[in-house]
Amino acid sequence: MFFSPQKSVRQNAGTDPLTGDEVFRRVPYNRFKKFISPGSDRFALICSILGELSLPHRIIRLGKKRHIAVSPGGGSGSFSGAPGPGTIFTAHYDRVPRSSGANDNGAAVFQLLETAAAPRAPRALFIFTDGEELAPGEPLRNQGAYGLGLFLKEAGLGALRIFTFDACGAGDTLIISTAAEYLLKDEAGTGAEAVRQRVKALRSAALDAAREARLEKILLLPTPFSEDAGFLLSGLAAQTVTMLPETEAAEFASLVRAKHKAAGILFSSAAPRPADRRFIPETWRSLNSPSDSPLRLTPGHWKHVVAFALALAEQR
């Protein structure tokens, strides 16, 4: 998810939250600490993990962006036909300078790696994307998802369902984003209306999958921009999902219901004005800053994200 980089709102030192945690003792999470370390080559590390997991993959090079496509069911990330029911899961692996990117977006990358490596190969295509984060003032067409969306359309895969996982590492409440409503509100024409209807179908599918996975805490809320922005600009429907701690999610939901103000704060521009940040959940305020540290992560809830993704993959 992208906001303008901010100074840290909370600093922690002297502890290592990953040491001794059961989650981080097993593959692929045993590589997570290296993934979020300063100077880590995230692209190379993902490819190495995929090799360790024996997951076939291919690299999609679009300009300077390098996307990693994974086909658990066979092949080498081929685009010769729709995988299974036509579902794509994405998670961006890039991060902003000065941030570990633990939640944005290291956690979701590893959750999808676990999903792709499930004993029963998920009927979906996984794409670990490059270039989600934009610098202040950088045009949205520079986002990796925009070019990837055009590539998928050209490959004849524009009708596939796209679910984007972003900042899924902190909290116990699944947030199914309503951002697309605001991104599309000024768009007109039959093409825009078709995308709106597809977004509604994706949201309905996400709700059904959350119930199938027996998730108890689910909310529909506007979220910061993610890859959905680039995909929508390319003409593809996409649904972003994220996580928040229950208290933060409830407070933000109350604000949205009571004043409808939070949506305007989030979508008035690509980055909220500093004066407006007090309305944004603390977990989101920590993104793109040194405060996005492993101390904020709640790995005990990551299994719920994986269960949700597997339920989506099994939909017919």
Round to whole Å and give the CA distance between 176 and 174: 6
Q: Enumerate the domain spans of the chain.
A: 22-314
End-to-end CA distance of the chain: 29
Model pLDDT, residue 186? 72
Model pLDDT, residue 163? 98
pTM of the model: 0.91
Residues facing 242 on adjacent strands = 175
Model pLDDT, residue 81? 45
- List the pLDDT tens digit at each of the 316 positions of the chain: 755 444 433 434 445 667 657 889 899 999 999 999 999 999 999 999 999 999 999 999 999 999 999 999 764 445 544 444 589 999 999 999 999 999 999 999 999 999 999 998 888 999 999 999 998 889 999 999 999 999 999 999 888 999 999 999 999 999 999 988 877 777 777 778 888 899 999 999 999 999 999 999 999 999 988 999 999 999 999 999 999 999 999 999 988 887 665 556 565 544 444 345 677 899 999 999 999 999 999 999 999 999 999 999 999 7
Rg (CA), the chain: 18
What region, left, alpha or beta, does residue 84 occupy, with left being phi > 0 and alpha being psi -120 to 50 degrees? left
CB–CB of 62/151 below 8 Å? Answer: yes
CATH says 22-314 is which class? alpha beta
Write the CA distances from 249 to 170, 227, 240, 262, 282, integer angstroms.
11, 21, 16, 12, 10
What region, left, alpha or beta, does residue 131 occupy, with left being phi > 0 and alpha being psi -120 to 50 degrees? left
